[in-house]
Structure 1
Amino acid sequence: MRFHNRRQAGRELGLRLMEWASDGELPRLVVLALPRGGVPVAAEVARALGAPLDVLVVRKIGLPGRPETGIGAIVGDDPPLFDQRALEMLGLSEDRLVQDVARERAELERRALLYRGDRATPDVEGRTVVLVDDGLATGATARAALRHLRRPGPARLILAVPVCAPGTAAEMRSEADDVVCLRQPPEFGAVGLWYDDFEQVSDDEVIEVLHDHSARSHSPRATEA
């Protein structure tokens, strides 16, 4: 069953997480989105959970000539995290990808500045972190993000996505404390195949979603609630 769009997928995911979270306490909850596609999904999740929303900018390192195929990822100032098995199978070395890494790091820094400005990154130590994306194919960006978030010592690290390749979901269970995925179709193909509307999310949309969520969270009605 396909999702209509990312917003609808996020509402379904939020409902599932509300049911899942009712079984136990989730201290100091924060929802982090992987931009750009994960942001509309995460906004609905954060709304359902009544949690703050922020972004963690991660960049996929694609296969030369096939950038849509992820063979690694970078986040923050961390060194690139490569799929070593994929590199060996393709006869690639990390040295051959230096320029690709530099290009993606420059784009990562551009987006981080655009989305966050001078806001500090969220302190996740001792917090329950729900990391959200619109789907997982190879899981390269999610893996890099989870390892980055693990270092400060969150109380609990949860990966939540609407759809993912079954094998990738299984692999992510060794990276996150919990993995919540609504659909794991055996014939996965690609994330976009499971959405009716999978238009690229723009920078302006990311900024708008973050602003709207922040404004709603700080509104008098939200404060009273």
Structure 2
Amino acid sequence: MVFHDRAEAGRRLAERLRHLRGADPVVLAVPRGGVPVGVPIAEALDAPLDLLLARKIGAPEQPELALGAVVEGDPPQTVLNDRIVRALGVSPDEIAQEAERQLGEIARRRRLWLRGRPPVPTRGRTAIVVDDGIATGATVRAALAALARAGAARRVLASPVAPKDTAEALRALCDEAVFLAEPADLGSVGAFYADFHQLDDAEVVALLALGGREGAAG
């Protein structure tokens, strides 16, 4: 299955999610690629569109090794890989300092892309996490855990493509998951799109403004 672009993939996902229209949904797009996928979903569900802003917490002196992730929220949620934390002997203070640094980057991105618009509340609502494709699912796992802690009534994951084994694992972590393609071997997410261009900041801002107007109108 090859999608023309992210917008087409979003429209196909929207058809599979229409039953959530009356479930007080909020669409949370993983930037940047999840934003154009999320716009037609938010429009179809008369839902607000927001960003799911999460950052990896890297290990001291090994920033590429993830101790976990911090996810924007009120309050922010930190999800850790306890096995790696114990193995490296990383202290709570070190984790807190790195989480705070990453929250600063999250705040910068919200200012850049959403012009300071505050996060849409998820407590008691149906939170739909949207990305343009999932490889390992690390960010999504952290997000789903954070949404549970933040009191989302229902957690839904929607992505045009994810590897079969990853898709099966993620289904166990949420209330509902929708994937349009589940290849045994993913290769690369971009291989499933005819147009998989890198979105620039201006395009992200414009799409989020559209999604915000559609959600407000709904």
TMscore range, shorter length: 0.7 to 0.9
5+ residue gaps, structure 1, are none
| 2:3 alignment partner AA | F
Q: Is the 8 A contact 1:59 1:108 kept in 2?
A: yes
2:77 match: 78
Q: Which of 93, 107, 110 is matched with 1:109 structurally?
A: 107
Structure 1 residues 70-108: Cα deviation after superposition (integer angstroms, max 9, x where no partner): 785331243353495xx59xxx8475x979877755432
Cα offset, 1:117, TM superposition: 3.8
Q: Which of 130, 145, 148 is matched with 2:146 structurally?
A: 148
Q: Which of 20, 27, 37 is matched with 2:23 structurally?
A: 27
2:196 match: 198
SS of 2:77's equivalent in the other structure is: coil
Q: Percent identity?
A: 43
Aligned equivalents of 1:116 and 1:196: distance in 2?
28
Number of residue pairs the alignment of both structures matches: 210
| 2:180 alignment partner AA | L
SS of 1:31's equivalent in the other structure is: strand
Structure 1's 123 and 200: CA in aligned 2 closer, same or farther, altered over 3 A? Answer: same
SS of 2:14's equivalent in the other structure is: helix
- TM-score normalised by structure 2 residue count: 0.80
Aligned equivalents of 2:190 and 2:99: distance in 1?
25
Q: Is the 8 A contact 2:56 2:69 kept in 1?
A: yes
Aligned equivalents of 1:166 and 1:136: distance in 2?
10
5+ residue gaps, structure 2, are none
Q: Is the 8 A contact 1:159 1:178 kept in 2?
A: yes
1:45 match: 41
Q: Is the 8 A contact 2:49 2:215 kept in 1?
A: no
Structure 1's 117 and 214: CA in aligned 2 closer, same or farther, altered over 3 A? Answer: same
Aligned equivalents of 1:104 and 1:189: distance in 2?
29
| 1:59 alignment partner AA | R
- TM-score normalised by structure 1 residue count: 0.78
Structure 1's 121 and 178: CA in aligned 2 closer, same or farther, altered over 3 A? Answer: same
Cα offset, 1:200, TM superposition: 1.7
Q: Is the 8 A contact 1:71 1:140 kept in 2?
A: no
